[in-house]
C-alpha cells in the first residue's frame, strides 16, 4: 500500500547577521511532545507548488515575504503512517513586520556570532550553519 506524502517547506531566514527562529506555543509543544523551537513554514496543500506553499506558510505564520536563495537541507523519512519530506530553504531580504500566528508564542532574531550560546537544539544550529554557508556564498 502506498503511503501518503507529507511535504513541508521551511525557511531559514537571514537578515544581516541574524536568523529568525520561532518558539512554538505551549499547546503545540505539549501536543507534539516537541522541544518547541521552529523555523517558519509548514505543510503544502495537495495542489500547491513548493514555492507557493512556502510563500503562503510564511504569510500565515510570520507575515513576511522573503527572497529564497537555495535549498539548504532536505529531510526524508518513510514513517509508519506517511512519507515525510521536509525541505528547508536559505532565505534573506525579509520584508514586512513579523506578526506570529497562534501556533507560536514568540519569535527571536538570533545573532549568528553568538548562536552557540543559545538554548536551541544542536541540530537546528547545524542546519542554520549549513544555510548560512549557502546564504554567504550567494552574497559573493
- CATH number for 35: 3.90.79.10
Range of the domain at 70: 5-139
Contacts 24+ apart (CB under 8 A), 37-40: 37/120, 37/121, 37/124, 38/104, 39/10, 39/11, 39/12, 39/13, 39/88, 39/124, 39/127, 40/10, 40/11, 40/13, 40/64
Cβ(87)–Cβ(42) below 8 Å: no
How far is residue 11's CA from residue 91's CA, in Å, rounded to a whole number? 6
How far is residue 82's CA from residue 40's CA, in Å, rounded to a whole number? 22
Q: How many domains, in total, are found in the chain?
A: 1
Dump pLDDT digits (tens) for 23-51.
Answer: 988 777 777 656 789 999 999 999 999 99
Dump pLDDT digits (tens) for 46-102.
Answer: 999 999 999 999 999 999 999 999 999 999 999 888 999 999 999 999 999 999 999
Amino acid at each position: 500500500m502506498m503511503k501518503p506524502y507529507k511535504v513541508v517547506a521551511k525557511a531559514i531566514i537571514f537578515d544581516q547577521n541574524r536568523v529568525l527562529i520561532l518558539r512554538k506555543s505551549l499547546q503545540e509543544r505539549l501536543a507534539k511532545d516537541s522541544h518547541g523551537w521552529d523555523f517558519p513554514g509548514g505543510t503544502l496543500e495537495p495542489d500547491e507548488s513548493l514555492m507557493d506553499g512556502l510563500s503562503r506558510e510564511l504569510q500565515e505564520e510570520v507575515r513576511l515575504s522573503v527572497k529564497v536563495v537555495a535549498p539548504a537541507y532536505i529531510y526524508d523519512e518513510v514513517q509508519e503512517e506517511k512519507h515525510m519530506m521536509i525541505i528547508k530553504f536559505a532565505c534573506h531580504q525579509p520584508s514586512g513586520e513579523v506578526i506570529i500566528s497562534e501556533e507560536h508564542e514568540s519569535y527571536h532574531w538570533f545573532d549568528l556570532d553568538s548562536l552557540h550560546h543559545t538554548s536551541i537544539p544542536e541540530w537546528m544550529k547545524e542546519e542554520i550553519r549549513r544555510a548560512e554557508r549557502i546564504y554567504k556564498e550567494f552574497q559573493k
